[in-house]
């Protein structure tokens, strides 16, 4: 999942970005409202973490501008002001949730997960397809009751597939959602990670789930018996 972080406090931004990267998110971090709006308009992010008090255009104006353009990316707004009027103003501007500074990291992560599953058919938080399950909160992955160890990036890839079951995802779509702007990519990075994921979630089991659509991309589907 790819996140846009718009926060002008550089120390907080670096800390949040590091924590989000540890959780397997791809993160683009910017430090003012105008740049944040530009990024949000040019990339299909999975969620935006948006500070209210920003240089240039503040977070309220950025949020309103994005909603006027029908950009419906979930927005978690951050602010140091905890007056009810401030929270109402943020929510009325189009934000989906509101978090007052200082906050606990685990609460931000939980609110972020809640935003990401709002439009998902599965509301429990656990992502499942056939006999495969993944928990975004704990990164626990199981198939046929067996635990599967994944790296943070492998988990991010699996989570993206599980949030789009039975859909063909192109290499460009996968790269845009799993890696951030500052990642130096090689041409076959998606194929490399798909092979790694397939070795762990497919090859030890009887039914294939991760299907290659030649010339197009990949699809995660219900287990299919190998011929």
CATH number of the domain located at residue range(s) 127-225 in this protein:
1.10.10.10
Q: pLDDT-based confidence at 118, cuts 50/70/90?
A: confident
Pairing relationship of beta strands 47-51 and 2-6 according to DSSP bridges: parallel
Mean local confidence (pLDDT), 49-60: 93
Is residue 31 very low, low, confident or very high in pLDDT (cuts 50, 70, 90)?
very high
Q: What is the pLDDT of residue 226?
A: 63
pLDDT at 211: 94
For 45-59, 110-124, 163-177, which range has the lowest pLDDT when averaged over its residues?
110-124
Predicted confidence band at 185 (pLDDT cuts at 50, 70, 90)?
A: low
**Can you list the alpha helix ranges (DSSP code H) found in the chain?**
10-22, 33-42, 59-68, 84-92, 105-116, 152-163, 171-178, 189-201
**What's the pTM value of the predicted model, to 2 decimals?**
0.80
Task: Provide mean pLDDT across the span 89-94.
Answer: 83
Least confident of 35-39, 114-118, 157-161: 114-118
pLDDT, averaged across the chain? 89
For the chain, what are the domain ranges?
2-116, 127-225
Give the containing element (helix H, strand E) for 221: strand 217-225
Fold of 2-116: Rossmann fold (3.40.50)
- Give backbone dihedrals phi and psi of 165, rounded to 5 degrees, phi first: -65, 145
Between 70 and 91, name the one with better pLDDT: 70
129 — pLDDT class (breaks 50, 70, 90) = very high
Edge-to-edge strand ranges of the sheet holding 217-225: 169-170, 217-225, 207-213
Averaged pLDDT for residues 171-183: 83
Mean pLDDT of 145-160: 93
Read off the tokens for 186.
């090689």
> Can you give the pLDDT at residue 64?
95
């Amino acid at each position: 999942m790819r996140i846009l972080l718009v926060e002008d406090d550089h120390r907080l931004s670096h800390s949040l970005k590091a924590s989000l990267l540890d959780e397997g998110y791809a993160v683009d971090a910017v430090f003012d409202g105008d740049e944040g709006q530009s990024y949000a308009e040019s990339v299909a992010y999975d969620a935006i973490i948006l500070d209210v008090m920003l240089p240039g255009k503040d977070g309220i104006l950025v949020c309103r501008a994005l909603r006027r353009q029908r950009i419906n990316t979930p927005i978690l707004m951050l602010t140091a002001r905890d007056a009810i009027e401030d929270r109402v103003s943020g929510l009325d501007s189009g934000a989906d949730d509101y978090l007052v500074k200082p906050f606990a990291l685990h609460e931000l992560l939980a609110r972020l997960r809640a935003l990401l599953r709002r439009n998902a058919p599965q509301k429990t938080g656990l992502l499942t397809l056939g006999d495969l399950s993944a928990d975004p909160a704990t990164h626990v992955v199981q198939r046929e009751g067996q635990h599967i160890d994944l790296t943070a990036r492998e988990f991010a890839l699996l989570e993206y597939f599980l949030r789009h079951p039975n859909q063909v995802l192109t290499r460009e779509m996968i790269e845009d959602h799993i890696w951030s702007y500052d990642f130096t990519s090689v041409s076959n990075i998606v194929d490399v990670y798909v092979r790694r994921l397939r070795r762990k979630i497919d090859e030890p089991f009887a039914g294939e789930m991760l299907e290659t659509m030649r010339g197009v991309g990949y699809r995660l589907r219900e287990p299919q018996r190998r011929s």
